Amino acid sequence: MSANDVPPLNRHQRLRYIKKGVGRRRLGRAEASKIEDKRRREMEGARGAIAITSRSPDRIRSQHDALVEMATWEDIHRKINHIFRPEQHPEDIEEARVAYIDDLQAVVDRLIADAQEAIDSPKTLSTGNLRRITHHYRRLVAGHHQIRDLVQQGKDAVDAAIEDEVIIFEGQRLNRLEFRRIYGW
């Protein structure tokens, strides 16, 4: 293991890094809060802000949503393992990673278009399923967004997110405020 290969931190180590003091000097609450926020943003880079680290399941997620998400996650996980094969040349890995990021962005764009079409459909409005359909598409878009961000950061970020159980497709709740900030709905 070289000096650049840093093992992923577990949840306790990340929290300790965020909360630790700066040297021996005393800090006011405002300054300490700023430093903690900065460290939290650094640490969230591995999982992205679109997922909420909560042990409680998403209550709005239906059984159908769970099946669709698990099938999607199995497909994505298989592709990620194929891209980051250890026997592959680093240049080939980088080329495949960039192509997959583009594919994930295309999927996000298509899902957003599908969501808009489904939400605007008279059938949706007449059946009263607007909230369920909106949540279904929101979870799919957020899951693909999260995977795209993780793949951009590399295999270690993907492994850390899997280990920390923060993958949206595995039932993790999503940050609706952050989602709304990014996508506007």
Neighbouring CB atoms inside 10 A of 112's CB total 16
Domain boundaries along the sequence of the chain? 11-44, 63-183
Apex CA 119: angle with CA 115 and CA 122, to 5°? 140
User: Tens-digit pLDDT profile for the chain (185 aa)?
Assistant: 444 444 566 777 777 766 676 565 677 888 777 777 766 655 665 455 787 766 677 888 889 999 999 999 999 999 999 999 989 898 999 999 999 999 999 999 999 999 999 888 877 666 768 888 999 999 999 999 999 999 998 888 888 888 878 899 998 888 888 899 899 88
CB 101 within 8 A of CB 83: no
Q: What does pTM read for this prediction?
A: 0.73
What letter represents residue 52's amino acid? I
